[in-house]
Amino acid sequence: MENRGKRGRYIVIKKRTDLAAEARELWRESAGETTELSGVEARTSSESGFAVETVKILDERGEAALGKPKGTYISIDLDPLMKREEGAFARAAAVVADKLRGLLKLKEGESVLVCGLGNSAITPDNIGPGAVKNTLATRHLVAAMPEDFAAFRPVAVLEAGVLGTTGVESAEIVRAVAEKVAPAAVIAVDALASRRMARICRTLQISDTGIVPGSGVGNARSELSENTLGVPVISVGVPTVVDAGTLAADLMEQAGIGESSSADFAQFGGSMVVTPREIDSQVDECARLIGYGINMALHELTVEDIAMLV
């Protein structure tokens, strides 16, 4: 499972997770607290009651150590939301909006394409489709009634589907539509995979490195990034499952037992996941949060405004 080998002069990690903060945590566990993690900067803060961790991967060493491309990864701990603290939804949406704005760096009037990735018929994969259902499309309104919608940015919204039901890579569909729409930036929303149960529906990650749809769950499709789309791609996601085989292997490893003990899991490889019993409502909540955060980042809107508009 894990590999403490060397690549050049530095320790690298092979444990697969979509979350940079978790990759850093795993690296620390494997390398030991005293080893320095070069090429990576991290800091934590508290914003409107939410713990925020920002991991910056600065160079090749950081990329190799954490197994992710250079860039900024911001993770927001959703615990206050899931505990239903007073006003938590509005505060969380404001934090998401603030972080998105920071990475998007849009000028006034620049347009955005928001893409939901994932299969809406599979509950834990419904983060992307659910988020775009909560995202306001304004491109046509701004074009048709520019004065009435002067306060709005042109936003196009796409549910990109999945290969299994469309026969077309979702990245290919996003590229096709982006070419027509010519946005200044793309926001791509997808479910993520983590290795820790404590993260499921509890961590929201925003990054400026784009997204490789499905990469976290074993069926890598093609890349969505500035490389492939020609404009910045900001990704937003929440982990909704831990692969059951991975979890079992991790447990065995923690218990000091080799891989053979988890042979029973081989037959379920990739087909079984660990997920909250209340996954349906938690995915809905996270998807709504992302949609609202995007709307608030792109337009001057409050949570109440959006509730009236979507």
Instruction: List residues binding a copy of itself (CB under 8 A).
Output: 84, 89, 121-124, 133, 137-141, 154-159, 161, 163-169, 172-173, 175-177, 179-181, 197-198, 200, 217, 241, 244, 247-248, 251-252, 254-255, 257, 261-262, 267-268, 270-281, 308
Nearer to a copy of itself (CB atom), residue 7 or residue 143: 143
Nearer to a copy of itself (CB atom), residue 123 or residue 209: 123
Cβ distance 122 to 214 under 8 Å? no
Nearer to a copy of itself (CB atom), residue 68 or residue 288: 288
Residue 281, classed as helix, strand or coil, is: helix
Cβ distance 95 to 292 under 8 Å? no
Residue 100 beta carbon to a copy of itself: minimum distance, rounded to whole angstroms: 18
Give the integer Cα–Cα distance in Å for 250 and 258: 10
Beta pairing partners, 113: 156, 186
Nearer to a copy of itself (CB atom), residue 3 or residue 281: 281
Burial label, 102 (beta-carbon count in 10 A; 0-12, 13-18, 19+): middle
Residue 69 beta carbon to a copy of itself: minimum distance, rounded to whole angstroms: 25
Query: Running DSSP on this structure, what letter comes out for residue 78?
Result: -
Nearer to a copy of itself (CB atom), residue 6 or residue 87: 87
Nearer to a copy of itself (CB atom), residue 77 or residue 208: 77
Nearest of 161, 81, 166 to residue 125 by alpha carbon: 161
Cβ distance 235 to 210 under 8 Å? yes
Beta pairing partners, 112: 155, 185
Nearer to a copy of itself (CB atom), residue 99 or residue 199: 199
The residue type of 235 is: S
Residue 260 beta carbon to a copy of itself: minimum distance, rounded to whole angstroms: 10
Residue 11 beta carbon to a copy of itself: minimum distance, rounded to whole angstroms: 25
Residue 191 beta carbon to a copy of itself: minimum distance, rounded to whole angstroms: 11
Give the integer Cα–Cα distance in Å for 93 and 303: 8
Residue 244 beta carbon to a copy of itself: minimum distance, rounded to whole angstroms: 5
Residue 70 beta carbon to a copy of itself: minimum distance, rounded to whole angstroms: 29
Give the integer Cα–Cα distance in Å for 159 and 133: 9
